[in-house]
Structure 1
Amino acid sequence: MAQPQNEHEERMAHPRMAAGALFFDEGGRVLLVRPSYKPGWEIPGGYVEKGESPLDACRREVAEELGITPPIGSLLVVDWAPSPAEGDKVLFIFDGGLLDRHHYEAIHPADGEVLEARFHPREAIDDLLIPRLARRVHQAVTARDATAVRYLEHGVPASP
């Protein structure tokens, strides 16, 4: 027997989505931003708005936060990472690639939102990022090196 439409709708997931980009310098360091509204570091990116694709959100957030519009490359990871406080989340990281000197020197962090944008060695990721983001970034770096998209759950590759 078919379920009433509203009961079916109530069971459907309505996750929050966010998208960000990993940019690298010639030494393989990762670009991180220090937001003003919370402690620590993040990757450039943010929440996907209604009617916006994750890739478009990534491009918009990079432009808003850094003031630059470099090309954004392939998807690196998709991470299902629900939060007790915020509910279901699906998070995307795209490959920003090598950020050339022209784009790096043109960065002007968003007034009031981003205090600083700086390259950091991969080895520093665990010390600079919250653990769930650090796991996701490590997996994205691995996916980039392997040129293969990774599906994650809580920042860890899901078991088959």
Structure 2
Amino acid sequence: MADLTDDTRFAYLAEGNAKQARKRVAADLLIRDAADRVLLVNPTYKECWDLPGGMAEENEPPRKAAERELVEELDLVVTAGDVLVLDWIGPHGPWDDQLLFIFDGGRLTARQVASIRVADQEISEYAFVDLDSAVRMLRADMAQRLVRAQRALPRGTTDYSEGPRPWSGWRGVP
């Protein structure tokens, strides 16, 4: 292929890129207040509460997607820190597989907490809740991810998983 022109090589690479699989990417944030309570949002289009964040747009880095979604949802600006959880979620229902990131969104100051406002009609409300309450309010798979994120936080590690894990409640997760 060394004798191909730059235009021919580019066309060849573009064709290969067009045929490769695309992944959906979701990016959420673990945000805490001074009392270490977790920030949750109540989406109007889901039955359960969720971590703030959402789907990445085309060619958008996951970290920027999480930050953008937070501004859109709650008019709150934070800098996403370390990746705490990265999950590959296999195809389910009508959905193809996806990658889900949970970033450390940090601990908010009292001023930041006071500035939060629901800025998107997809969110009906938000709340800061303790871990026990969060686990009850979230869908089981998200509750598990939250617990894993909380455990990864002080370790400075990323908890990676492919597919569902057995779940017996957060106290039973090593």
Q: Give the CA deviation at 1:83.
A: 3.5
* Unaligned residue ranges in structure 2 (runs of 5+): 1-12, 167-174
**Contact 2:27/2:54 (CA < 8 Å) preserved in 1?**
yes
Q: CA offset at residue 126 of structure 1?
A: 2.5
Q: In the alignment, is residue 132 of structure 1 matched against residue 141 of structure 2? A: yes
Which residue in the other structure is 1:52 paired with? 60
Structure 1's 101 and 154: CA in aligned 2 closer, same or farther, altered over 3 A?
farther
Q: How many residues align?
A: 152
Q: Report the counterpart of residue 32 of structure 2 in structure 1.
A: 24
1:65 aligns with 2:95: no
Distance 1:7 1:21 in 2: 34
135, 142, 145: which one aligns with 2:151: 142
Distance 1:156 1:13, change over 3 A: farther
Larger Rg over CA atoms: 2
Moved more, 59-68 or 75-84: 75-84
Once the two structures are superposed, residues 64-118 of structure 1 have per-residue CA deviations (whole angstroms, 9 ceiling, x without a partner) of: 0010112221111110112312011100010011011111111111231111111
Is there any run of 5+ residues in structure 1 with no aligned partner, and where?
none
1:56 Cα offset (Å) = 0.7
> Which whole-Å CA distance do the structure 1 matches of 2:85 and 2:36 have between them?
18
Match of 2:108 among 90, 99, 115: 99
**Identity %, equivalent residues:** 36
RMSD across aligned positions (CA): 2.2
**What one-letter code is carried by the residue in structure 2 that aligns with 1:46?**
G
Structure 1 residue runs of 4 or more that deviate by more than 3 Å after TM superposition = 5-10, 154-157
> TM-score by structure 2 length?
0.79
Q: Does 1:75 align with 2:83?
A: yes
Provide the C-alpha distance between the structure 2 equivalents of 1:7 and 1:149, rounded to a whole number of angstroms. Answer: 31
Kindly indicate whether the alpha-carbon contact (under 8 Å) linking 1:49 and 1:57 is maintained by their aligned counterparts in 2: yes
Aligned to 1:108: 117
